Structures are given as C-alpha cells and as structure tokens.
A = this chain, B = another copy of it.
Amino acid sequence: MVETILQATARVLSERGLAGTNTNAVAEIAGVSVGSVYQYFPNKDALINALHERHVLQMETLILDSLDQLAGKTLLEAVECMIEAVHEAHLLEPALHRALESGDLLCDPNEDDDGYRAVMVAVRQLFEVHRAVITVPDLDLAVWSVMKIVEIMVHSAVLSPPPNFTQCQLRCAIVDAVMGYLVYPSSVPPHHAPPRTASELIEVKM
C-alpha cells in the first residue's frame, strides 16, 4: 500500500512536477482513495518527503557502496568509479530526479541530513588517502567543491545535456573537472605549491 502510494507519487511527480502534484491525483493514480494516502502519511509534505528521503537514500547507498570499493586504486580511478556510480544512479529515473531535487541544489544540506554527511565523510576519507597528490590545501573545501561539481554536472548531464554529446563524453568531462580541480596548482591562499608535472600525477597504488 505504502509502496503503491509512493510509486504513484513518483509517477505524478515525474509527469506533472512538484507544483502539479496533489493528493487527489496521487490517490487516483495509485488506485486508492485519498483516505488511504492519509492513513500512511500525515500530510502532503510528508508524502513528498518520504519519497524524497527514499530517493536520496538510494542515491547515497549507491555512492557509498562505490566508495567502499576504492582500495588499491589511484585517485583518478577512484574518482572515475565514484562519478560512474553517481551518474548511473541518476540515469535511473531522470524525470523523478528533476522533480525531487530541483529545490535541493540551492538549499543548505548540512542541517541534519545524515546521508549527505556520510557521503561527505566517505569522500573526505578518499581524499585523505590520496592527500599527497591533491593540491587543494583544505580538504573540507575540496570535498564541498567536488560534491557540488559532481552534483550539478551529473544532474545537468542527465536532465539537460548539451546537444551533440554522449553521456560517456559528459561523464569524462565531469571526471576531468574533478581531477583538474584536485590536482591543479591551487590559488587558494596561502598554499602556493608549484605546478605539478605529469610525472607527479602518476600516483602510487594505495
């Protein structure tokens, strides 16, 4: 029942967007009565939030799973894996993503979102392992930047890709952006390390 309702919500959300979603429509699509929706969700927001939470959880699980399997890889390989995971996660239900996450990108996710924080921690751990090859002086800043870059680029690649590019090419661009940022001779004061040479980019295995 809860499942039916959530799926109907997802469908309505995908088809009509957040503003066009209402409890009657959800109930109708679900083939149940409005009352049943309110039997399981105290109000409309709770309904949307439940779907949102579940959605975010799916994302995070996929990402955390991929981050668990990065031992013994170079930073590049790790970044590629991570981005591949995120990218594929977002290819699942693009329309639903748009509806559910359109408001999220500009909101402060730091409050009490454990999942988001877990991803941040995992990414930070990854970066610490590869600290030597990362030029960004502050890892917290690096984590924030990389997560933002990956978020927006993956979303954009999936939801409004530029014409004439394959998803594969876009994914490579994301990897480049992240890697470029991480190993680029940072301008953030006060660390003015000299530019890395190519040879330095060949990391040792973990």
Contacts and interface: CB of A to CB of B under 8 A. Distances in A.
Interface of A: 19, 76, 97-98, 101-103, 105-110, 136, 138, 140-141, 144-145, 148-149, 151-153, 155-156, 159-160, 162-165, 169-170, 172-177, 179-189, 194-198, 201
A164 to B, nearest CB: 7
A53 to B, nearest CB: 19
Given A172-B187, A198-B195, A153 B148 contact: yes
A196 B176 CA distance: 14
Contact of A105 (B105, B176, B187, B201): B105
A160 B107 contact: yes
A106 B156 contact: yes
Contacts of A185: 198, 201
B145 A153 contact: yes
B177 A145 contact: yes
A195 B184 CA distance: 11
